Structure formats: structure tokens, C-alpha cells
Amino acid sequence: MQGFFIILGLGVAAMTLAAILWSIVFPDRRIWPPKRYTTLTPFLVWAPTFTLFAVLILLGIWGWTDLAIPSWLRFGVGLPLILIGNVVVWMEVSYFGVPQTGGAKGNLRTEGMYRYSRNPQYMADIGIVCGWMILSAAPWAMVVGLAGIVVLIAAPFSEEPWLKDQYGTAFEDYSTRVRRFL
């Protein structure tokens, strides 16, 4: 059963990365962000996201403490990363709303955590994944987690040309003031 979830997690990460890379190489035929936000879009965006996080949780539980990571590191670094990451993600989702977070057109956000990073939600998601990898100390959660982190790092490179098209000089000015990640 664990093997199925490892393959599922790596498969979801690979397909998502392929869609992002496609969107980077062929921006006129991009997949992410979606050209049109329809009733099907939330399913296509959130199903893979929540599937990957669910797989990470399960793999972390199955392999709990299989790696010799000290408790002080697991609970002193891993747990805070998870908690802080969730606060940041859900704070910004509450501002944007689920549709805009999932690719619908909206307003350019330059306040809140977007003052410090052009991609605070991706950075927070990376923090959550890293935190879980450390806290669980599970080898397969680390493998799938690293695949998920690659996806999270790649995603802004498909979004930023779209943001430039949507918001023009406002986004260009913003991107000169604020770093992509940290």
C-alpha cells in the first residue's frame, strides 16, 4: 500500500511539474495559470495539491522516525515550520479567496506577506513540506516532499509572465522592489 502512495505522490508531482514546464516553454498554450477560470478549474488545481499533501502526511506517518533526526530538531524546527507556513498560506488565501489563489484573475497583491516575497504562499508551502519532512523523519516523505518542493520552486516561473501580462508596469515595478522568493 505504501508503494502505491509513493508512486501516486511522485506521479502527481511529475505531472504538475510537466504542466508548469509546458507553461514556461509555451506561454501562449499555458496550463498554469489557466487561461480561463471555469467550474472545473478548482478541481484541477486543488485535487493534485491536496492529494500530494495527503500522500506526504501518510508517508510521514508510515515512516515516522525511521531516520535518526534528533527530537529537538524535529519539534524545534519541523513543527514551527509547519505552523508558520500554515498561518502564512491561509492568511493570504483568506485575502485572495480560493478562486484567485487557484488561478482566477483578480487584483495584484503587494501588501501583507507579498511585501517580502512575490511568492509567499509557495514559500510557506515549502516551509510546511520541509517541516513535515523534518518532523516525521520518514524517508519516503522526504523523497516525495523534495519532488513537491521542485514543483513549488518552478511554479512562479510560469506565473510571472502571466502576471506581467495582467498587470503590466504595476507588476514590473513590484518585481523590481520585491524578490521572487526571499
pLDDT of residue 149: 98
The answer to whether the beta carbons of residues 5 and 59 sit under 8 Å apart is yes
CB atoms within 10 A of CB 108: 12
Give average pLDDT by consecutive 10-residue segment, the chain, 182 residues.
96 97 95 88 90 98 97 98 97 87 86 95 97 98 98 97 94 97 92
Contact 148, 56 (CB under 8 A): yes
* Residue-level pLDDT at 143: 98
